[in-house]
Structure 1
Amino acid sequence: MSHYESMSYQEQGLSPGGRLRQLLATGKTLVCPGVYDGFSARMALAAGFECLYMTGAGVSMSRIGMADLGLATQTEMVDTAGMIANIDPKTPLIADADTGYGTAANVFRTVERYITAGVAGFHLEDQVVTKRCGHLKGKECVTLSEYLTRIKAAVEARKRRGSDIVIIARTDSLATHGLGEALRRLKAAVEVGADAVFLEAISTKEQLEAYCSTFRGSRVVTLHNMVQGSPQAYKITPKEAEHYGLGIMLYPAVCLLPAYVGITSALRALKGGLVEDDPEGSTPAQIFQVCGMDEIQRTDNEVSDWVQKFEAENK
């Protein structure tokens, strides 16, 4: 019996972390599309995904218009995560927590705020506070002891809040210290209390196999980050991920890249004086439907009906 299966959760009223743990307990690879705002989250939910991933790079670019160089603040990340997590609370959200945004006290507060916001799980990394996207060059990592201090602070925050939020230990040290040190860091993070591990920027089959074999047969969930278009991301399919025993597959750019390509193309056409209807016949009404129009109108009608009945009964 796995760590997740051994934990008792009621079918009704599961916490966000409980719902994520329930999905992980199935043993199937959980495919998580990267979303970064309400619109991308709505589209992913409409497509039927069981779990969403909030990409920090996407939040940084969509919310503050800045590249992912550690500029998005804790508040901006928590606010966005809370909004996404509560569009459909039944669908768990895994969120990027970067470095925890400061000292151990900052990490503790970040985890508390993610728990309050309804986040189901998050990953915490070992880059320096002035971090950068994991698939960019020039990364720097903190010492192992400082990294474990962050993980320990997250574990203590979860414990004190009585939460079951899933803690994912990420290391970017593959690029800076090599595979051996990266695996050592992940194993140490698990000893401190992390539930899952995340080796960032796996670029070869050999690295992926060594990573998966290190944790195969244990209670630890392994995660692979599939950044489309990045040469630092070793490409595998979800079916291949199950073969490797990977528990989670993240696709952080699956919404971001098509949005960039499509919007850029439309703007260039407009700049050139040409605006055409979408070739697939998309309309504003369809977009409103994806973004909850029926539910909003149903609620409005139910309240209006109640008011009319109340007024009729109290004339």
Structure 2
Amino acid sequence: MQRIGFIVLPGFQMLSVSSLSVFELANWEIGEPAYHVHLLSETGGSIRSSVGISVATEPFDNRNFDTLMVGGSAVAGALTLGVIKFLRRGLRRSRRVASTCTGAFVLAEAGLLDGRRATTHWHRARELQARFPKVKVEEDRIFITDGPVWTSAGMTAGIDLALAMIEQDLGADVARSVARQLVVYHRRAGGQSQFSALLELEPKSDRIQSALAYAKRNLTSKLTVKQLASAAHLSPRQFSRAFRAETGQSPAKAVENLRVETARLMMEQSRHSIDVIAQQTGFADRYRMRRAFLRAFGQPPQVIRRNARAELAA
């Protein structure tokens, strides 16, 4: 049986511990206790959450945990020297150390993320990078595995992280069954990005939505304003004005974002060459795609693919 320890800090958010349900359901799915979950705090006892609900915790001791996890806290002074020491010891003794959401700040404060790739909630990612320059922050990832250290984005991304742990421990079939029980994706559509180009645009009218859906289906085409306007049943001038008013972007920029998102997914999940992916996503050649990747992610396609393969190998 694997022992899972989750460190609860005063003022934690209830959703941050939702990932523990993944381990509970994995036990149920295989019909035996593969995991034993422990809520931990420095002194033990009752710890109050941000909404006023308290949970019972066990105090830190000399037990070893296969997986040690931590969430964040909005309460000043919640992170103590005792917690930092416990995490540092955990990195030496545990197979995995992980954080959910702003728990990445806790791991960074303990020095566990120095020189490692990590993520956190997109809203706090740049702050994490500024405060801890030794950390290689990737702000658009759902979760990242770098050696024994796992970090996830927003609180629900902790479920994605835990499902990946289940897959590593018990296999893809068990992880997929647990995801079905939770009514979530085994692997989120659109790769591991926190963002979706279509969702981020948030068009308000059916006509602009239809144009974007048309663009998504026809990325190999040139997708001129005239084509998109025709799909929206508007004149090119009306379409351009309405599109920018509803999305805050030009049609050309939106199409590039759709192409980049699709190309990234193909880079991560397929074995197609970079030239083939560039052709299939409408970039025409690898050099245009490379420039688009640098604008969107600050990294070229080769680095995106190498990182994805490194995560899969881990």
TM score, norm. by length of structure 1:
0.31
Q: Whose relative contact order is higher, 1 or 2, with alpha carbons under 8 Å and at least 6 apart?
A: 1
TM score, norm. by length of structure 2:
0.31
